[in-house]
Amino acid sequence: MRPAPVVRRPLAPALLVLAALVAAVALLAMSAGARWVSPLQWLPMDGSIDAALAWTWRAPRIAAAFFVGACLATSGLIFQGVFRNPLAEPYLLGSAAGAGVGAALALLLPDRVPPALSLPLLAFAGAWAASLVVLAIGRLGGAWSSARLLLAGVAIAAILSALRSLLVMLFGDESTNLRAIVSWQLGGIQTPSTAEAAGFAAILLVLMLAAHRLAFGLDALGLGDEVARTMGIDTSRFVAAAIVVAAMATAFAVAWGGLIGFVGLIVPHVMRWWLGPLHGRLVGACVLGGGALLVLADTVARTAIAPGEIPVGLLTALVGGPFFIALLLLRRAAAAT
Amino acid sequence: MVTRPSPSLVRRRLAAGLPAAAIPWPAAADDAFPVTVRDAAGRSVTIASPPQRIVPVFPSNVEIVHALGLGSRVVAIGGRVRWPPEAMDKPSIGGAVGYSPEAAAQHHPDLLVVTPSHHSALALADAFERLGTPVLQLAHPDLPSVLRNLLLLGRATGTLARARQLASDFEAQLASIRAAWQGRSVPTVYLETAAAERGAFQTIGAGHYANDALAWAGGRNVFEDLRGSVQVSAEAIAARDPEVIVSLQQRPRPAAAIAARPGWSSLRAVRTGRVVVLARGHALIPGPRQVDAVRAYAQALHPGAFA
Amino acid sequence: MLSMRRATVRAAGRTLVDALDLDVPERGLVGLVGPNGAGKSTVLRAAAGLQPLCAGDATLAGRPLARWPRAERARRLGYLPQSFDSHWDLTVAELLALALAPPSAELLARCEIDALLARRFATLSGGERARALLARTLAHDPPLLLADEPAAHLDIPHQHRLMALLAERARLRAVVVVLHDLHLAAAWCDRVALLAGGRLLADGPPSLVLTEDLLARAYGHRVQRVDARPGAFFTSAAGGHEPVDDAHGPGRSRAA
């Protein structure tokens, strides 16, 4: 039986669909929460209580959720390209755990440096250092091995998670609020000021541009290290640059959302399945898809047990895990036909 | 919409809170040994003779034991303890990263006092029960239970007279605090027990002693419909618009930092300047110093009454 | 086009290529043959810039290989590795999109893959895959093509189809191909370089290089060369088979 031909979906319509999805989810997110407010009531920015609730309290948080989701998905996309494995994601590879250690240090030492500055810096340092260690281990003995990189990542993630927990347990009570840190560790979207939310847009733009520039190299890496080198790519330098970009994205995500897993794994995976493996096509899709997913997750997090909140990282893990298993099963069935 | 609770409701609540009639033992046999007491887990624990080697685990239990004058009979402590100063010299059996049964066994304790909310403490209790060492589990869902714990420990250690003294002292202070704000309106209050920079706001609801403490201090917890320790969303706080915000912080930072949180300037507590930051210290330790916490809350809620 | 002088490659204490001299002209099909471990693939990888030389030098289009900026060198070379596996599930069209230049319709037609563009690469047959990879490698029209055993694992018709493509290309550009199969070398190459133990034993037209004497030295095994009338060949097997008349090649050999 002849295998069916595959025609890749055209990109522009797909992006439009995703943009529409983002708009729909944002609409839902603005309306839902501790109290449901219909769009008719909050859309006019007329200073009424409902409008204030939506625009003052919800909108900044929604912006942060979108930003965190977009960063996680972009980071996952780059990691999957560099490690040549669809299971790679910042959480699994220790990058998020590294950011967690950095962020924990920043939270535990609020007197030395103001957390507003130290948190993203230390988170980035942690994410970057963790990724470099994983790369170094994965490369031991010369040639890369995708499997070895993943294993190294999982090991480093475990070590760093334990380190973070230890730091928090030993020093948590001294300078800051233990419960808040524990909650943050489980994932929670922080609320930015308007200036900070505007900053998100700029940072996201930079990240997207960087990811686009990496796209061809990531595709080439997928053909094999040697083929990539014969295509003129300095693979060591390229991988190092890619890791820096991915670490930055991870750091921002962790700084504003705590430790949230699965988004970096699932979104690139789904987009690749939908749009094909060429990375240039996937950057925009991952940003929109990751953003939409996390806005939705955060909406559930602050609505389901209102006025209480569920840590959003718990939600993504609870839902993400089974969803991913379902994905795997579906793909196996499709590949078998 | 938040309304002021009726005075009769307040009175009934306070009246129900006093544990005056809670002690079941006849006065004559007050300090007789052996004694069988019932602890918070509902277990009957028999203590043969006055314990001489006590290991209290958890700051509240350490404080209660020392308040009863039993400092010389404490051989080791557990938990992140900072009070009283004499307790800090005692050997520790753990706290930050769990408790060690071996370290405790080294001291040959004849009484362990633990609090079940700490999982590792239960493992400790389990180990010693098998050895036949009496283990008392104490819980503190509200202020009256703090007093009950005092009396229970007093009975168990043969210091009931002192315990009664402390308890009536405690009640007297509570009564005087109440008298100070009596007649004033009871504001709604949001008590923040922990928070990250811009999220993860932790508070307490019914079933937590701090909720009780707020009521004794003449305030009404906006989240009293919730139970225990919970994390709430910023918009939930906004929806309930508390009149006063009390933030407990380990290293207190200026109240302006809270006012600067994005969006919080629209809260009436921020607009009217009724944001108070208190040192966390004893506020979240359910021991004899809770009365100081109640006083601190009362001063924050009714500054005019304590001028 | 490509020139190597006393090129030496050592790794893990072994000398893989020993003071090798090689000249590849701007046109023509050069075959590198020899037993396993002779250093054929190493020479090719050194030429592609994947393996640095420990001694000696190599020049590409007159400039030392090491001096070429990566991107420019990539445009001058086309490299077909021995084994290729894409980590992602690409379609043929997507694979071709990863060439250094968009392939022309003519190239696709020549490689006979224009009908396969929508197919997933993983579902192609061995021959189709080889041709698709070749199209990708040739898309930017490199002056020098380096192919490492491109005909391995292909059946006979596909082997010859592929070699025919390479030979056609060699009429206008330089092509160096590592071959295991001496028949293919004999049938298709303009020049053959015989390697053994990292050294160049002989370099010249197939009829002069693939002699019994040289082959015996290279392979350490007695070889009998049987010259058929022009236009015939057969494949040898241990027990010896009857020759079968077929299309190509001036000479072939069989193991005795």
Planar angle of CA A149, A153, A154, nearest 5 degrees: 120
Residue B301 has pLDDT above 70, yes or no: yes
End-to-end CA distance of chain B: 30
The share of chain B scoring above pLDDT 90, in percent, equals 46
Contact by Cβ (8 Å): C126, C147: no
Gap between the Cα atoms of B43 and B30, Å rounded: 20
SS3 label, residue B155: helix
Residue-level pLDDT at B118: 57
pLDDT tens column, B237-259? 998 999 999 999 877 888 998 99
- Cα distance between residue C34 and residue A89, in whole Å: 45
Q: In this model, does residue A42 exceed pLDDT 80?
A: yes
Cis peptide before B34 (omega within 30 of 0): yes
Q: Specify the pLDDT at position A52.
A: 81
Q: What is the spatial distance between Cα A47 and Cα A49, in angstroms, rounded to a whole number? A: 6
In a domain, C252, yes or no: no
Quick check: A260 and A315 in contact, CB under 8 A?
no
Which of A153, A184, A189 lies closest to A70, judged by CA? A189
Q: What average pLDDT does the structure give for chain B?
A: 84
What CATH number corresponds to the domain at position B266? 3.40.50.1980
> Cβ of C181: how many Cβ atoms within 10 Å?
19
Q: B229 and B187, same structural domain?
A: yes
Out of B144, B170, B196, a domain closes at B170
Q: A210 vs chain C: nearest CA distance in angstroms? A: 19
**What pTM was estimated for this model as a whole?**
0.84
* Count of domains forming chain C: 1
Bridge partners of A159, per DSSP, are none
Strands C55-60 and C63-64 come out as antiparallel
CATH code of the domain in which C10 resides = 3.40.50.300
- A324/A322 Cα distance (integer angstroms): 5
pLDDT of residue C244: 38
* pLDDT tens-digit series, residues C159-189: 888 899 999 999 999 999 999 988 899 889 9
Average pLDDT value over all residues in chain A: 86
Span A301-311, pLDDT tens digits: 999 988 888 88
Residue spans per domain, chain A: 11-336
Closest-CA residue to C56 (of C4, C2, C10, C16):
C4
A42 touches chain B (CB under 8 A): no
Residue B53 forms part of a structural domain: yes
Q: What CATH number is given for A11-336 in this structure? A: 1.10.3470.10
Domain assignment present for C188: yes
The yes-or-no verdict on residue C68 having pLDDT over 70 is yes
Q: pLDDT per residue over A107-128, tens digit each?
A: 777 666 666 677 778 888 898 8
* Count of CB atoms situated within 10 Å of the CB of B274: 20
The answer to whether C91 contacts A272, with C-beta atoms less than 8 Å apart, is no
Judge: A277–C90 Cβ closer than 8 Å, yes or no. yes
User: What's the whole-number mean pLDDT along residues B294-301?
Assistant: 93
Cβ contact A6–C120 (<8 Å): yes
Domain annotation covers residue B177? no
Instruction: Give the pLDDT of residue C254.
Output: 36
Stretch among A18-32, B29-43, B169-183 having the lowest mean pLDDT:
B29-43
| Nearest chain A Cα distance for residue B293, angstroms | 18
Distances (CA, A) of A62 to A40, A252, B196, B267: 18, 15, 18, 20
Number of domains comprising chain B? 2
Contacts of C119 in chain A (CB under 8 A): 3, 5-6
Which chains touch A (3+ CB pairs under 8 A)?
B, C
Considering the domain architecture, whether residues B27 and B155 belong to the same structural domain is answered as yes
Residue B178 lies in a domain: no
pLDDT in tens, A47-92: 777 888 888 889 999 999 999 999 999 999 999 998 888 878 888 7
- In chain A, what residues touch C123 (CB-CB under 8 Å)? 3
pLDDT value at A30 more than 90: yes
Per-residue three-class SS string for A263-306 = HHHHHHHHHHHHHCCCHHHHHHHHHHHHHHHHHHHHHHHHHCCC
| Residue B114 phi, psi dihedral angles, 5° rounding | -130, 165
pLDDT tens digits for A243-257? Answer: 889 988 998 998 889
Domain finish residue from B137, B170, B203: B170
pLDDT in tens, B101-114: 888 888 999 999 99
Which range is least confidently modeled, A58-62, B95-99, C37-41? B95-99
Is residue B226 domain-shared with residue B268, that is, in the same domain? yes
| Closest-CA residue to A76 (of A235, A245, A224, A200) | A245
Q: Looking at the domain assignment, is residue C256 inside a domain?
A: no
Q: Which residues of B touch A110 (CB under 8 A)?
A: 251
In the structure encoding, which two tokens stand for residue A315, read together? Answer: 């939600």
Given a cut of 50, whether residue A337 has pLDDT beyond it is: yes
Please tell me the predicted confidence (pLDDT) of residue A334.
67
Q: What is d(CA C74, CA A228) in angstroms, rounded to the nearest whole number? A: 10
Residue C248 is predicted with a pLDDT of 38
Query: Do A and C touch (≥3 CB pairs < 8 Å)?
Result: yes
- The closest CB to that of C120, out of A3, A85, A222, belongs to A3
* C248 is a domain residue: no
At C225, is the secondary structure helix, strand, or coil?
Answer: strand
| Residue at B51 is within a domain | yes
- Residue in chain C lying closest to A222 (CA): C87
Quote the domain boundaries for residue C209. Answer: 2-241
pLDDT surpasses 50 at A224: yes
Which residue in A186, A204, A184, A185 sits closest to A196, CA to CA? A204
Boundaries of domain holding B191: 183-306
Q: Let me know if residue C249 belongs to a domain.
A: no
User: Does B103 map to a domain?
Assistant: yes
Query: Chain A contact for B119, CB < 8 A?
Result: no
pLDDT of residue B18: 46
Residue B27 has pLDDT above 70, yes or no: no
ipTM score above 0.85:
no
- Structural domain includes residue C206: yes
Tell which residue, A12, A67, A62, A11, has the closest CA to residue A33. A62
